[in-house]
Structure 1
């Protein structure tokens, strides 16, 4: 699933080409992508004639401003946007087409069909997942003290808590593994037992990893590409994720893999000792 860096790169790639364009028509080719309003015809009719005035990101969500409404889009596993000229052949699994008055089209493609779109008015409730999001990793209000307080009553492994979008928004499997590696924290350490110093290291690691990943255009582990069709480059810099059996870049110990919160989790047994071996206690 695209995480914060990938969604941010999609936003940045679409912004200069989509903002300021007026929607002439919307073609919904797969109704279940549209959640709100539940009738895709109403969805299309409300958007006709609207101008895209901005594109924002919140966690893993894209927010297209089409005043007075906001189009909330979640890419889920394999959702992709592409800007194409009108009349260009439709790629397989293209489910929603936004036709602009200048003759260009923004096309949403999703092989697994897990992505969602909600058209939310100014007085409408936000989609539940969006409304429940925690703070953004780069929010200056998110300090080490605040992060530790978020962990304080959670006995679950710190990796599982990082994946909980109500705690910190936008973190998924890849960047949780990378941040924990950089912070030298074992992914199975109980979140509630992290010290203030460990919370500070983890927050700094999250911001460092995400900053570098955004600069590299995200990580293309499987099918991710931005609005230009470009793949990310950060996967070549991954220190832990997906490197089971490969040498740790710090100490040479083979990277281990376990399952935490149902997700494959990668770490160095030496650099990230378990709580019972001198790690987080």
Structure 2
């Protein structure tokens, strides 16, 4: 499942191809993947309006695992990747048949190349939203103000979260700290992979009650979250199965994983066998020596 590093790297990889591009056409293969504002019926016109047809993309934004495209006229489209979503730039015609399977929405974008030159030309590309498992989706907003209101329901962005904000968030939960980190209303952007990695780096046991972590442990955890996510973004994210960025490139962050997916293998610090348990229905890997149950108030 794409987490914050994968979404952030995807956003960055798309920008050179889509910023200032005009949205000329959209092919909608699954209307149920598009969410319009409350009270707006799904028609061809309203779907095209929500999917930014007729505007130019002037900015991208991200909070947690969600990212958004902003049009010059103020319209905004939020993209949520869910478990298996991706956004792909293709310079030729989009694939058809089995090769084009799961492309639920395909945009035709047009960019002016060499705008200051008499020989300026227009280049067209296709941008496809794919989601085989269909847990993601596209949500239209009329303005950035509406988007900010929606994103206010999420916790602080994990890429920049400071100890004070993390402490305030974790105090609200008596659940295991691993479960609290997965709650996007408390901290936005952390999923199963990076929760395990951050807890290991901070030497925090995943079942420690979130509200009982002492200030030093929370400070170390906040630092670990920021550092691990930043490294993962620079590495292009973690390609565990099929994640690719906007240009079809795999990420290499998985090579730096210390615990995720390594249950039964030796700890990279102390060589103790890593153990697995289940927290909030998620497989969790930790070191029983490096992550003892302590650091509580």
State the TM bucket, normalised to the shorter chain.
over 0.9
Determine the C-alpha separation between the residues in 1 that align with 2:284 and 2:177. Answer: 12
Determine the C-alpha separation between the residues in 1 that align with 2:164 and 2:67. Answer: 29
Native 8 Å contact 2:93 2:126 kept in 1? no
C-alpha spacing 1:60/1:40, structure 2 compared with 1 (3 Å): farther
Alignment equivalent of 1:117, drawn from 138, 157, 164: 138
The CA RMSD over aligned residues, in Å, is: 1.9
C-alpha spacing 1:131/1:117, structure 2 compared with 1 (3 Å): farther
Native 8 Å contact 2:169 2:187 kept in 1? no
Alignment equivalent of 1:133, drawn from 121, 144, 154: 154
Aligned to 1:144: 163
Corresponding pairs, count: 276
- Listed as ranges, the gaps of 5+ residues in structure 2 are 111-122
**Which aligned pairs between 1:156-171 and structure 2 lie closer than 5 A?**
156-171=175-190
Counterpart secondary structure, 1:44: helix
C-alpha spacing 1:40/1:85, structure 2 compared with 1 (3 Å): farther
Determine the C-alpha separation between the residues in 2 that align with 1:224 and 1:233. Answer: 11
Aligned to 1:235: 254
Shift of 1:237: 1.0
Native 8 Å contact 1:118 1:127 kept in 2? no
**Which aligned pairs between 1:1-281 and structure 2 lie closer than 5 A?**
1-37=1-37, 38-39=41-42, 41=44, 42-45=46-49, 47-66=52-71, 67-90=73-96, 91-101=100-110, 102-122=123-143, 125-126=146-147, 130-139=151-160, 142-275=161-294, 280=296
Determine the C-alpha separation between the residues in 1 that align with 2:109 and 2:43. Answer: 18
Shift of 1:211: 1.1
Per the normalisation by structure 2, the TM-score is 0.88
Determine the C-alpha separation between the residues in 2 that align with 1:217 and 1:65. Answer: 23
Determine the C-alpha separation between the residues in 2 that align with 1:179 and 1:168. Answer: 13
Native 8 Å contact 2:75 2:144 kept in 1? no
Shift of 1:208: 1.0
Determine the C-alpha separation between the residues in 1 that align with 2:144 and 2:20. Answer: 24
Per the normalisation by structure 1, the TM-score is 0.92
Shift of 1:128: 8.5
